[in-house]
Structures are given as structure tokens and as C-alpha cells.
Structure 1
Amino acid sequence: MDQIEKKEVLIVVLDEFAEWELAYVAAFLNSSEHYTTKFVSIDEGVIKSIGGLRVMPDYTIHNIPERFSSLLLIGGNSWRKPLSSKIIPLVEKARTMDIPIGAICDATVFMGANGWLNDIKHTSNEINDLKEYAKEHYQNEENYVCEQAVRDGNIVTANGTAALDFAKAILELLEAYSKDQINQVYQFHKVGYYEAQRTV
């Protein structure tokens, strides 16, 4: 039986990334039949998370594959630093090719600061913080939604406490599992093992 070639989901991590924000989405995607996750950063070498987790990127911004199925930007403490601007061409490529994009926590502020939230419904950590940092580049407060995760078209945004909701929205967008499977695993992790068992 021929082995199914899995589609690559690129996960961007910068120094001091928030490892809890990628845990669900990376695990669920990498366990699916159709997707595999690949980590991307600016340069070669180990990237260290806020909690000390060390990740060796599969790609740098200099050797990204020509085709990939989705681009996920994981939050952390580096999105407001000048070096984050090196990620702009990668996001622009995904936008041009209509590739699904996910951004969580401070990566949503990076999106807003580059004008990429101006034509979609979206969320972030906090609207005033988004406005203050993005300044004139952000012009879409009327479409800010106070929800854990928001999907509009092929873009998903989420706040930093929404790792599970972010994962659910990405799994649905990519159709990584059936709707029933996604809802089941979401509820299992949302309410906890014992409560989930009582509702089976």
C-alpha cells in the first residue's frame, strides 16, 4: 500500500516563544493522516521557549519549501522586536498564495502592525494593546471580536490563553479530522477527563 504524502504545516517560532500555544495544534496535526508539522525560525540553531524548551528548526526563512499547506505564527516575547520583520516575506507569500494562516497571542499584534487584520474579523490579547502597538497600520477595530479564537476565511487569530480553541479552529480549517472527531477531542480537553466520561 502506498504511503500517503503528508502536507507540511509550517510553525514559526522565535526566541522566547510560548510553547503552550503550539502544544495542542502541533500534536493533533502531526498525529493526523494528512499533515505533518515543520518548525521554522529566522536562523539555524536551537530556539529556546519561555519555559526553556529547545527546538531545532526544520527550516529557516532562507530555505522554506516552495509549497506548504498552512502557516502558523506562535506567540512569545519576540514579535515586537525588529528581527520579527524578517518573517514578513513569508507571511506575504502565504497571503499571495491564499494559504491558511494562524496567529496566536502576540503574533496577532504582529499581524495587526503589518495591516493584515484590516479586512477580516479577528481577535488578539487585548484591543487597546493592539491599537497602541500597531498604530495607524491597524484600522479595523469594528471587526475585533472578544472571543478566544476567531476564524475569518482562511485566517485564524487567538489570544494567548486559547491554545485549545486555536487548535480546534486550525483543525477545522484544514479539515484534518472529521467534525465529530474534532469536537470530541476538543470537549475532552476542555472539560477534563472525568467530566468528559460522564457525557459519553
Structure 2
Amino acid sequence: MEKRILFVLLEEYADWEGAYLASEIMRSSNEESNNYCVKTVSLIKEPVHSIGGFTTLPDYAIDSVDNHFNGLILIGGNSWRKESSKKVIPLIKKALENNAVLGAICDATVFLGMNGFLNEGKHTSNQLEELKKAAGKNYSGEKEYINQQAVRDGNRITANGTAALEFSKEVLVALGIKNKAEADDWYHFHKLGYCKYMKQLNNIG
């Protein structure tokens, strides 16, 4: 069966935050035949526009997604604090009920905090103080907050807005697409860049 990874894209989504992850999921699927596929979701099935000016026609409207998905990825952007974004909550609950991988990056982590999803389990966000301010009484998970680029706690991954690579690495491990060693190698290749990575690799060899 096809293993669907849903990327939630709201208006003015941060296109760079999902690019490494989506492309690696699809590359892996094409080369290794692991049946993973990337699908996009938004509030309605109408074009959404990224901060960088890309226009995307979502595969699904939020209310047309069934229970058969293996991962739910909430891409950050400028719309997560709008009232309309609460339409995503039932989909998040589906992911949690089904023990699907749930990933959130940048302001999508704030959305989780604002709606009571970060009160248990280790997590991170852009800044603790900003998270507390935005979420108010709905957030009581301060003791579980870790100040690092990305945090994986079981099947839940949170990351700040500069952590696209770290976020991708942790999601790839959670999905089972890569083991930790493979994910670390993939991460270092992209983080260092080809020239520095190859130099380091040759020095080790």
C-alpha cells in the first residue's frame, strides 16, 4: 500500500522548510521502491502561495483526507496564528490517534502549543518565550522544552525555522526511510556542502 506523507501548506507557507524533506522522501521512494509518496494539503483545494512566490495546487482539501496516511508534516509560514488554521486540528488528532509521524517546523510548532499539543513530550520551537506568549494558558510544557534546532520524541518532531536540514533528518529516521547513521551522513553531506564533505570523507579514508 502507498505510504502517504501529507504536507500541510497554508497561505504564505515557508517553501524552504519542506524542500529537503519532500525531495528526499521522493528520491528514496523512486530509487528504493519503498512506496512513500508526498501529497499536499491545504484548507481548501485552491492554489496557495509560498513566501517565496511559488504557487501550489494542493492534492487535498483538509476535510477530504482519509485516515490512511503515515506522516503529517506541518510546514511553517505566516498563517498558523489565524483562526482559519484551526481547521487543521482534526487532522492532527487523526495523526496522533493513528500513531503517524507528526512533524512541525517554525510557526507550526507555535500552533501546536496554542492548541494544547505540546504539553507532554520533549519539543522545541523558535523561542520558548515566544511560544509561551502566543500559547498562553494552553501551554504547560515548559519543562519538556529543549533549546536545540530539532527535537524528536518518538513519532513527533519539532524544529525552529532555521532547522530545515535537522528537521528533515529527524523525520526521515522517524519514518524509517533512513536509519540514524544514514540520516547523519545525509545531513552532513548537505550541511557541509559537497566540497567540504568530500574533503572530510577523504581525510577519514
Give your verdict on TM over 0.5. yes
- Cross-structure match for 2:137: 136
Render the CA deviation track for 1:128-166: whole Å, top value 9, x for unaligned.
110001000000111110110000111000000000000
Structure having the larger proportion of residues in helix? 2
Q: Do the aligned residues in 1 keep the contact of 2:67 with 2:94 (CA within 8 Å)?
A: no
Q: Moved runs in structure 1, 4+ residues, more than 4 A?
A: none
Identity of aligned residues (%): 47
- Partner Cα separation in structure 1 for residue 157 and residue 179 of structure 2: 19
* 1:162 and 2:159 matched: no
Q: Do the aligned residues in 1 keep the contact of 2:47 with 2:58 (CA within 8 Å)?
A: yes
- Cross-structure match for 1:124: 125
- Cross-structure match for 1:89: 90
- Cross-structure match for 1:18: 14
- Partner Cα separation in structure 2 for residue 174 and residue 60 of structure 1: 23
Instruction: State the one-letter code of the partner of 1:11.
Output: F
Instruction: State the one-letter code of the partner of 1:31.
Output: R
Bigger mean CA offset, 172-181 vs 30-39: 172-181
Where 1:119 maps in the other structure, the secondary structure is coil
Counterparts of residues 105-124 of structure 1 (less than 5 Å): 105-124=106-125
Bigger mean CA offset, 28-37 vs 132-141: 28-37
- Partner Cα separation in structure 2 for residue 172 and residue 81 of structure 1: 31
- Partner Cα separation in structure 1 for residue 4 and residue 27 of structure 2: 12
Q: Do the aligned residues in 2 keep the contact of 1:32 with 1:177 (CA within 8 Å)?
A: no
Render the CA deviation track for 1:43-97: whole Å, top value 9, x for unaligned.
0111100010111101111211331001000000000001101101110111111
* TM-score, scaled to structure 2: 0.93
- Partner Cα separation in structure 1 for residue 9 and residue 58 of structure 2: 8
Counterparts of residues 1-200 of structure 1 (less than 5 Å): 5-33=1-29, 34=34, 35-200=36-201
Render the CA deviation track for 1:102-133: whole Å, top value 9, x for unaligned.
00000000000111111111000011110001
* TM-score, scaled to structure 1: 0.95
- Partner Cα separation in structure 2 for residue 61 and residue 51 of structure 1: 23
- Partner Cα separation in structure 1 for residue 90 and residue 178 of structure 2: 30
Residue 181 (structure 1) shift: 2.8
